A and B are shown apart, each in its own frame.
Chain A
Amino acid sequence: MNPPVGQRKLRLATTSLAGCFGCHMSLLDIDERLFDLLDRVDLDRSPLTDIKHCGPCDIGLIEGGICNAENIHVLREFRRQCKVLIALGACAINGGLPAQRNHLDLGQCLQEVYLTGPGIVGGRIPDDPELPLPLNQVHPIHEIVRIDYFIPGCPPSGDAIWKFLTDLLDGRTPRLGHPLLHFD
């Protein structure tokens, strides 16, 4: 798994947008193969590192769909900096289960959660400018920026992520077949 002599290590960035971090857990599910992975790539911005902004990278892994303004800024930063951008998991690919809010009125959702829901006394809808505004609908990331590859699954299995990444790192066209390819 060591990179060929003279070849620099690749840089990998990851992030979670409107995700549940489950895809990152699945990435960690490659278990001891993480050591092999880290022989070949250095991690840039990621929930697993302390790097605040994405530098120039070879691969960006994006988990989660787009549900608020900050998601869009982060996604655009990744697109600017990463040569190859991968949508990881159902949310990034089609909005996922969070997109089930798309047929609800956002204002009514916020009211119910912060004002009228059971057990809420003296609540208010958070309005500090520090907080990113939610979008009226959840979107897949390919509706915001161009995406190079898609790894489906909720989450994709560690084996599927491993197969996909090693195909890519070894210069093969990444392929997932039965039973690694699944949407659930």
Chain B
Amino acid sequence: MNTPSLLLDGLPVPFSVGQTIMEAATAAGIFIPHLCHHPDFKPQGSCKLCTVKANGRYVSACTMPAKDGMEVENNSPDLNDKRRTLLQMLFVEGNHFCPSCEKSGDCLLQALAYELEMLTAHFPQFYPDRPVDASHPEVLLDFNRCILCELCVRASRDVDGKNVFALSGRGIGKHLIVNAESGRLADTGFALADKAAHVCPVGVILAKRRGFLQPIGCRRYDRQPIAMQPARPLASGGNGPES
């Protein structure tokens, strides 16, 4: 039997049955923008950045199973315009002051904005006001940068077995919380060695006393645009002890 394959922007991409469009594209070295997708975790399709057009319909590449002969549009002006708008919405919803953020140069949200040539966040700023949690001896939380990708929620629950994080509230009031009666990270079993400490794609979960270690020019996305880089290394964040 022939290997099934789909057509991604006109290129045949083989896949094995059960793979999503995202998995097939990643295996073939083709970049599909994404934020909440991480190869180590079950996809959830919340950021919508990986929206592609499959057989004429908008679908999330991270959740849509690949089908033989499927025609997928990925890198098109139409899709990239929509993705840029999604990024602009994320940028105004939070306080993304990159010039003082320790994650700058290593941040997936920022790298995608560069990739899609986002010059401004366009919409009026929300300027959320959520206090930082500096209670933990090793880790700082800045909730004003959270994009609700739930990678930390998934990592803490499914990998670490600690269930430290959760999302709470509804609509624009939805926000990341710490599962402790006090709401403080110090009052959980959270540790720097946890998987959840290293999956945040933006600058919410930061190891203390490690900021600005990488010289400008040497940070992950200084070297090469995100689309030119190999798929994100497993189980590491720019800010972790192993990097």
A: which residues have CB within 8 A of B? 87, 90, 93-97, 99-100, 102-103, 137, 139-140, 142-143, 147, 149-152, 154, 175-179, 181-184
Contact = CB atoms under 8 A, between A and B. Distances in A.
B129 A103 contact: yes
Contacts of B129: 102-103
A151 B105 contact: no
Contacts, number: 73
B74 interface: no
Contact of A152 (B97, B119, B225): B119
A87 B121 CA distance: 12
B127 A103 contact: yes
Contacts of B46: none
Given A99-B125, A150-B119, 13 more contacts: A94-B91, A94-B121, A100-B100, A137-B127, A142-B120, A152-B119, A175-B117, A178-B224, A179-B222, A181-B119, A184-B98, A184-B105, A184-B216
B58 interface: no
Contacts of A181: 114, 117, 119
Contact of B117 (A99, A102, A176): A176
A184 B101 contact: yes
Contact of B97 (A100, A176, A177): A100
Contacts of A149: 119
Interface of B: 91-92, 95-101, 104-105, 110, 113-114, 117, 119-122, 124-125, 127, 129, 216, 222, 224-225
Given A99-B125, A152-B120, A183-B110, A94 B96 contact: yes
A142 B95 CA distance: 17
Contacts of B110: 183
From A87, A103, A184, residue with most partner B Cβ within 10 Å:
A184
B114 to A, nearest CB: 5
A150 B113 contact: no
A141 to B, nearest CB: 10
B121 A97 contact: no
Contacts of A150: 119-120
- Ordered nearest first, which 3 A-B pairs have the shortest CB separation? A154-B99, A103-B129, A183-B98
A87 B101 contact: no
21 contacts: A90-B99, A93-B121, A94-B121, A95-B125, A96-B99, A97-B97, A97-B100, A100-B95, A100-B100, A137-B127, A149-B119, A150-B119, A154-B99, A176-B119, A178-B224, A178-B225, A181-B114, A181-B117, A183-B96, A183-B110, A184-B104
A103 B97 CA distance: 14
Contacts of B105: 184
A87 B117 contact: no
A97 B95 CA distance: 10
Contact of A177 (B95, B117, B122): B117
B121 A90 contact: no
A97 B99 contact: yes
Contacts of B104: 183-184
Contact of B125 (A94, A97, A176): A94
B125 A140 contact: yes
Contacts of A177: 117, 225
